[in-house]
């Protein structure tokens, strides 16, 4: 019985005879771990009527072979092909199926040998492989002819087995590619694969695998992952399925997952060869692609070096090798490698596409466009380079070019989700209106968003002055600021897919931002001036460095030039990381931005990068970061650049930074010594009961770790339940440590509890002392501000100003502090200061009529009619039903004309 026939019979038996099978003596399960296999498959393998040979064939087919199974050359060849061991000796055995031998040759790049092995073979799979091989050799017309009989049989419904049907679908897909008709028959292909999976053979794992490949090609990762899971439930050892999952994880910046998948692929290959050092070429490819995304060409090259030595003609590895040289910016070497690739596969766009895609992600827009266009010239109707071109043009602000490329894709392949989302965005953007200043173009959706767009121009020019001075560089073209009307449109604008968690982002010459509004489709109000200043630093640093700046470094410069104090949560985050030894090293910090492992990782990456940038300037001088940027522009890697500018490698820089960071955190009052816990331990030792408790904790600790110890140490205190310090303890300790921030905080808390919420002058003094000892904590300032404002007396209200200024300087999302300050300053006759705060309120919440009203009134006090007109015009647009705004505007303009 051949494998296809007995597999089908086994699956049928598993369905109708489960009870009978369960009653039979237990069949030993395969040696490989089959716990994740479908129970349906396991029952089929264990069917009692199977012969030993048939059971062995099923074990191999479902990826759970035993060592004994591999002693049979035909089965070993199948396992090796499945596992990605394409040079296994079993393929040379005369009993190996010619199709298996040919596919292994094709996969490792020996196309001519594959054609020889297929000579005279007429199966659907053989015809499909012949066509794929011819296409790989650049013989596209011959490939089209070769695939025609399989496609014809499929169309005429002459396909009877799942094997032939999947070969037919793959042939149909190849023909669509060869003829530049990527969307043709897509839905029919998916339906045919569903028939193979659900009707012809439920255990035929190549059917869901082919589905996954089609879905991956259509940029539909969610459904592709589902199909991959279905494949692996039927075959744990499908290297193709694991490779596809690995590519998806790399695409999602999930490098931990992709690394684990690479290990799985190695394990599968090792199960064939028995060698613990066996490495999968697919695993190597995944690792290399992950390093490319992390912009580390050295690690990427190391990842694939051994596999390339072993498979020097394997097209996928050779294409990745070209991409590695591209992100080294060694374009002479890229051209040499492309020429070698062309000698193997003349006319293939694959390597050109890989180079262009890698450069596009590295924001080398001009070079990327060149290589992608060359790929398009070779295969004008292949959607992938056209999609990358469209997204590249979109991110670089060339909307007409983006629309042109994406419209072609929409015609070729309307099923591609990423392209469809991006084209919809482009068509939307082309309807937007613009306003311009010397250095900026603001684009916005017609309507109420004009209110904000027109207000942005003056602050934008102020931002330009600050940033261009700080980076000592001016962009060569105007920067486009795109006001996206809601979060969903913003997400599509940035990624091409509606899933991103931020409010603004820079792609180089374009900064996209969500309008700061409140509502179900919005993220909320925010300080857009601070946010855009951050993003504009990216625009400037990216151009100065030719987009070759490390991720953490451009973020660090951006936060630094926000020129705003750290908030308390950031100080806590950094201090905890410092205390716990979880600061990111120089590699992990870049990954944390795009693929955080913990909810706090991304925030820590921003904060730590800023901290390192401050350290660099303090220790090595203000020109140091700018000198590094110039080296990055030349393509110098980070470690070498730091050695040339700072005189230390990255590792030593990080060590010096960590030492400095301890000093910084101490100056914030965040690392007080001694700790309250150690003070409490000293207190406990003064009583017999305390000494007994400490001794018991020490004994328990020693037993847990298998040690014999005596005396008092700090570590066991973690397992000792310490009492809360009493007010008497705190006051006593303060006589010995009068500036200890934790003790000053505890004292203030005790005083607040004792006073029942009443704030006395004694408590005010205590809060001020705590604020001085821990100058980053907003808590005392909040209490003091509320107290002074509630008192209502002029002197008290004046005392509130300092606390409110502290809070407002750190506030990014609310306007309460700015409005309170505007009113306080106005009450004191400080109109200049009041207007600054009122203007800040209108920038955080530009669509709030109340803030516009306040800003207009203060402008009128100083007879600044132009500013008053600006805010009243905004009011009229925000509240068109309130006719009073138009009347006030008319009166103001009459006064302006008289003057």
Per residue in 73-82, pLDDT tens? 999 999 999 9
Nearest-angstrom CA–CA distance, 720 and 701: 10
What percentage of the chain reaches a pLDDT higher than 70?
A: 91
pLDDT score at 707: 44
More confident residue, 687 or 813: 813
Output the average pLDDT for the chain.
88
| Angle of the 255-273 helix axis to the 239-251 helix axis, nearest 10 | 160
Taking every pair of Cα atoms in the chain, the longest distance, rounded to a whole number of angstroms, is: 106
User: Which residue, chain included where needed, has tokens 């001794």?
Assistant: 695
Residue 511: in which H helix or E strand, if any? strand 510-514
Integer-rounded Cα radius of gyration of the chain: 34
Q: Using 50, 70 and 90 to split pLDDT, how confident is the model at 720? A: low
Residue 694 is predicted with a pLDDT of 65
pLDDT digits over 171-195, tens only?
A: 888 888 888 777 778 888 888 899 8
Q: What's the number of CA atoms in the CB half-sphere (13 Å) around residue 684?
A: 24
pLDDT digit string, tens, across residues 614-661: 999 999 999 999 999 999 999 898 999 999 999 999 999 999 999 999
Which of 466-480, 695-709, 815-829 is predicted least confidently? 695-709
Cα 632 to Cα 874: distance, rounded to the nearest angstrom: 45
Cα separation, 785 vs 768, in Å, equals 12
pLDDT at 657: 97
pLDDT surpassing 60 at residue 37 = yes
Two tokens, residue 192: 């045919």
pTM of the model: 0.78
Gap between the Cα atoms of 423 and 731, Å rounded: 68
Asked if the model's pLDDT at residue 307 lies above 70, the reply is yes
Rounded mean pLDDT of 21-29? 32
Cα–Cα nearest to 812, from 569, 609, 577, 605: 569
Q: What is the pLDDT of residue 536?
A: 96
Percent of the chain with pLDDT over 90: 67
DSSP result, 417-438: HHHHHHHHHHHHHTT-EEEE-S
Element (H, E) at 773: helix 761-773
Residues 806 and 774: beta-carbon distance below 8 Å: no
pLDDT over 90 (residue 547): no
The residue behind tokens 């004008």 is 380
Overall average pLDDT of the 723-748 stretch: 94
DSSP structure string for 195-262:
HIIIII-TT-THHHHHHHHHHHHTT-HHHHHHHHHHHHHH-TT-HHHHHHHHHHHHHTT-HHHHHHHH
Tokens 């000293």 sit on residue: 682
Q: How confident is the model at residue 597 (pLDDT cuts 50, 70, 90)?
A: confident
Q: Per 3-state DSSP, what percentage of the chain is helix, strand, and coil (rounded to 5)?
A: 70, 5, 30
The answer to whether residue 167 scores a pLDDT higher than 80 is: yes
CA pair distance 734, 740, nearest whole angstrom: 7
CA distance 581 to 882: 59
pLDDT digits (tens, 9 = 90+) for 254-302: 888 999 999 999 999 999 999 999 999 999 999 999 999 988 898 999 9
| Residue 721 pLDDT greater than 90, yes or no | no
The answer, yes or no, to whether residue 495 has pLDDT greater than 90, is no
Q: CA–CA separation, 151 vs 159, rounded Å? A: 10
Q: What is the pLDDT of residue 224?
A: 94
Judge whether 652 and 697 are in contact, CB under 8 Å. Answer: no
Which range is least confidently modeled, 49-53, 280-284, 488-492, 613-617? 488-492
Whether residue 674 has a cis bond before it, omega within 30° of 0: yes
pLDDT on residue 348: 93
Per-residue pLDDT band at 463 (split at 50, 70, 90): very high
What is the rounded average pLDDT of the residues 197-201?
87
Q: Residue 270 has what pLDDT?
A: 96
Mean pLDDT of 684-702: 68
- Cβ count near 597 (within 10 Å): 11
How far is it, in rounded angstroms, from Cα 611 to Cα 662? 12
Position 715 scores a pLDDT of 39
What residues contact residue 647 under an 8 Å CB cut-off, 6+ apart?
A: none
Determine the pLDDT at residue 711: 38
pLDDT classification of 777: cutoffs 50, 70, 90: very high
């Amino acid at each position: 019985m051949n494998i296809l026939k007995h597999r089908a019979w086994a699956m049928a038996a598993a369905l109708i005879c489960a009870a009978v099978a369960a009653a039979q003596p237990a069949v030993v399960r395969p040696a490989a771990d089959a716990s994740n296999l479908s129970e349906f498959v396991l029952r089929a393998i264990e069917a009692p009527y199977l012969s030993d040979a048939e059971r062995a064939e099923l074990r191999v087919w479902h990826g759970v072979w035993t060592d004994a199974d591999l002693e049979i050359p035909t089965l070993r060849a199948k396992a090796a092909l499945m596992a990605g061991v394409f040079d296994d000796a079993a393929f040379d055995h005369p009993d190996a199926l010619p199709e298996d031998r040919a596919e292994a040759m094709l996969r490792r790049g020996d196309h001519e040998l594959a054609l020889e092995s297929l000579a005279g073979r007429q199966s659907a799979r053989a015809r499909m492989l012949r066509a794929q091989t011819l296409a790989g050799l650049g013989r596209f017309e011959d490939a089209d002819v070769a695939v025609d009989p399989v496609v014809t049989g499929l169309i005429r419904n002459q396909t009877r087995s799942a094997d032939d049907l999947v070969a037919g679908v793959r042939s149909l897909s190849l023909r669509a590619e060869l003829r530049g008709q990527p969307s043709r028959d897509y839905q029919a292909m998916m339906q045919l694969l569903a028939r193979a999976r659900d009707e012809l053979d439920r255990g035929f794992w190549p059917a869901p695998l082919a589905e996954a490949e089609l879905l991956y090609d259509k940029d539909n990762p969610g459904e592709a992952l589902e199909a991959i899971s279905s494949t692996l439930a039927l075959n744990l050892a499908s290297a193709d399925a694991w490779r596809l999952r690995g590519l998806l994880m790399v695409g999602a910046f999930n490098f931990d997952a992709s690394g684990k998948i690479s290990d799985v692929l190695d394990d599968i290959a090792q199960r064939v060869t028995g060698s613990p050092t066996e490495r999968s070429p697919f695993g190597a490819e995944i690792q290399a692609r992950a390093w490319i995304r992390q912009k580390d060409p050295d690690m990427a090259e190391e990842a694939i070096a051994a596999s390339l030595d072993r498979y020097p003609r394997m097209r996928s590895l050779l294409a990745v090798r070209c991409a590695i040289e591209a992100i080294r910016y060694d374009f002479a070497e890229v051209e040499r490698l492309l020429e070698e690739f062309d000698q193997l596969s003349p006319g293939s766009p694959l390597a050109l596409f890989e180079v262009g895609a890698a450069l596009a992600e590295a924001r080398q827009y001009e070079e990327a466009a060149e290589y992608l266009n060359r790929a398009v010239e070779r295969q004008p109707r292949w959607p992938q380079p056209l999609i990358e071109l469209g997204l590249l043009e979109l991110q670089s602000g060339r909307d007409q070019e983006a629309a042109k490329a994406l419209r072609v894709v929409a015609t070729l392949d309307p099923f591609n989700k990423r392209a469809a989302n991006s084209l919809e965005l482009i068509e939307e953007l082309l309807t937007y209106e613009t306003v311009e200043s010397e250095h900026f173009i603001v684009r916005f959706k017609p309507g109420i968003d004009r209110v904000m767009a027109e207000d942005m121009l003056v602050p934008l020019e102020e931002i330009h002055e600050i940033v261009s001075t700080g980076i000592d560089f001016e962009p060569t073209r105007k920067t486009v600021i795109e006001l996206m009307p809601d979060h969903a449109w913003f997400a599509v604008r940035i990624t091409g897919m509606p899933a991103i968690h931020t409010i603004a982002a820079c792609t180089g010459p374009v900064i996209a931002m969500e309008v700061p509004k409140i509502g179900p489709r919005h993220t909320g109000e925010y300080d857009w001036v601070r946010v855009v200043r951050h993003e504009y630093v990216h625009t400037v640093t990216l151009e100065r460095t030719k987009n070759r700046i490390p991720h953490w470094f451009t973020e660090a410069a951006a936060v630094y030039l926000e020129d705003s104090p750290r908030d308390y949560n950031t100080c806590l985050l950094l201090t905890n990381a410092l205390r716990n030894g979880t600061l990111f090293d120089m590699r992990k910090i870049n990954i944390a931005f795009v693929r955080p492992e913990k909810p706090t990782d991304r925030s820590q990456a921003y904060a730590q990068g800023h901290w390192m940038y401050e350290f660099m300037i303090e220790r090595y001088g203000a020109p140091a970061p700018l000198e590094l940027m110039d080296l990055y522009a030349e393509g110098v890697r980070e470690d070498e650049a730091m050695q040339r500018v700072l005189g230390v490698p990255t590792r030593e820089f990080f060590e010096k930074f960590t030492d400095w960071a301890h000093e910084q955190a101490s100056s914030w009052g965040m690392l007080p010594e001694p700790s309250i816990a150690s003070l409490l331990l000293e207190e406990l030792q003064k009583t017999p009961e305390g000494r007994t408790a400490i001794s018991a904790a020490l004994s328990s600790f020693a037993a847990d770790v298998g040690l014999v110890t005596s005396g008092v140490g700090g570590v066991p205190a973690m397992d000792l339940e310490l009492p809360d310090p009493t007010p008497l303890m705190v006051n006593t300790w303060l006589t010995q440590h009068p500036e200890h921030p934790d003790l000053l905080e505890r004292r203030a808390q005790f005083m607040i509890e004792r006073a029942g919420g009443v704030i006395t002058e004694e408590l005010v003094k205590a809060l001020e002392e705590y604020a001085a000892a821990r100058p980053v904590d907003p808590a005392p300032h909040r209490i003091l501000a509320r107290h002074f404002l509630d008192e209502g007396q002029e002197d008290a209200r004046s005392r509130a100003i300092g606390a409110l200024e502290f809070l407002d300087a750190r506030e990014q999302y609310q306007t309460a502090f700015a409005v309170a300050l505007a009113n306080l300053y106005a009450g004191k006759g400080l109109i200049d200061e009041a207007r600054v705060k009122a203007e800040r309120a209108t920038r955080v919440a530009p669509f709030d009529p109340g803030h516009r009203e306040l800003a207009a009134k203060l402008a009128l006090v100083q007879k600044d009619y132009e500013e008053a007109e600006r805010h009243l015009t905004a009011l009229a647009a925000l509240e068109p039903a309130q006719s009073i705004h138009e009347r006030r505007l008319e009166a103001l303009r009459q006064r302006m004309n008289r003057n």
